[in-house]
Amino acid sequence: MKTGFLTHELYMWHDTGTASLYLQPGLTVEPDEHAESPKTKRRMRNLMEVSGIMDDLELIKPVAAQHKDITRFHTEDYVARLQKMSNDRGGDAGELTPFGPGSFEIAMLSAGGVISAAEAVWSRQVKNAYALVRPPGHHAEADWGRGFCMFGNVAIAAMKLLAQHGAKRIAVVDWDVHHGNGTQSAFWDRDDVLMISIHQDDLYPKGTGHIDERGEGAGEGYTINVPLPPGSGTGAYEQTFRQIVVPALEAYQPDMIIVSSGFDAGAVDPLGRMMMHSGGYRTLTQMLMDAADKLCGGKLLMAHEGGYSPNLVPYCGLAVMEQLSGVTTDIVDPMLDIMAGYGQQALQQHQAAAIDAACKGVLEALQ
Ligand SMILES: [Zn+2]
């Protein structure tokens, strides 16, 4: 079986307009390309093509999500509102989520793409898969879009596997540098999805993703938040996976693992202040592959979220694809040695303390 890869040109046509990073331009702020532009995604796909790895992957065609797939998570009112705005001139889906005409259909194809890739992994059509979709999804909540996200792609795909494909337990590992608040909200009171978010402490959305957010009711203990201090590098991420993520997966015994894959914890990302690099993402991918092999027949899906450095994202993406597929290309990440040489890449004491604090009681709650 090959590794699956999914993308579509329409993902690149979702129009976020102009901004200064993601802030509204005006008379005192010169308009620039919005941070969540097609550029990083297009360059990741282009590097994959140039590297030759595409030839060894099974390309999965995205199918647009159905209305009932979307409304397992989102409210009818929100979906209708987005559709109306998209048919007109676009607008903002809620908070910091600008979109242009036609973005409703593109968002349906984005959520549908993650579903298509999830079904390909679930049915063993492919060994594992990466869905390079846009717009991203992990910040979107039931009745409003947030943080560039219109529909909760990963939550919607997990809900479909649970509702229609006989899955009993899905684990979501969110390594985007921002908190996976939308996915967390989707499964807050449910125990059929284990949600683990590793993110920069109190970055976005403000005030969410703290260690005491652990779910409620039937979902108590099935949400795990690991807020890491700014400046965390590969040492802190690998320790988080060794100490919390992998043991939690082992305790939970999922039927499949879905990763919210943002590369904005990269060392030169404009929206994050972490120090990850392509080698770090490669290692984390292998740790998740090992866990998936042990727990669920290798069933692992990655769905693209953030990542705003056009120079770094493509190399992180290629490293993950090489690891997932076992195919090595001739492409060498020109920034890897530089970033690996940054001071304090190794686990620092204050980072270890933050990981210990996040770990307190979480594994016991899953027993
Ligand atoms: Zn992000």
- Provide the 3-class DSSP secondary structure of residue 28: coil
Q: Which residues of 97-134 are buried (b: 16+ CB within 10 A; e: fewer)?
A: bbbbeebbbbbbbbbbbbbbbbbbbbeeebbbbbbbbb
What is the Å distance from ligand 1's center to 357 Cα? 23
Write out the DSSP string of 264-296: TTBTT-SS----B-HHHHHHHHHHHHHHHHHHH
What is the Å distance from ligand 1's center to 329 Cα? 27
Tens digits of per-residue pLDDT, 128-137? 999 999 999 9
Euclidean distance between CA atoms 346 and 350, whole angstroms: 12
What is the Å distance from ligand 1's center to 151 Cα? 15
Q: Where are the alpha helices (DSSP H) in the chain?
A: 39-51, 67-70, 76-87, 103-122, 153-164, 181-186, 234-240, 246-252, 278-296, 313-325, 336-340, 349-359, 362-365
Question: Which residues are known to be catalytic?
Answer: 139
Domain over 3-365 is classified CATH 3.20.20.140: no
φ, ψ of residue 228 to 5 degrees: the values are -100, 150
Within 13 Å, how many C-alpha atoms sit on residue 25's CB side?
12
Q: How confident is the model at residue 367 (pLDDT cuts 50, 70, 90)?
A: confident
User: What pLDDT score was predicted for residue 142?
Assistant: 98
Tens digits of per-residue pLDDT, 260-288? 999 999 999 999 999 999 999 999 999 99
Tens digits of per-residue pLDDT, 179-194? 999 999 999 999 999 9
What is the Å distance from ligand 1's center to 47 Cα? 21
Give the pTM: 0.98
Domain ranges of the chain: 3-365
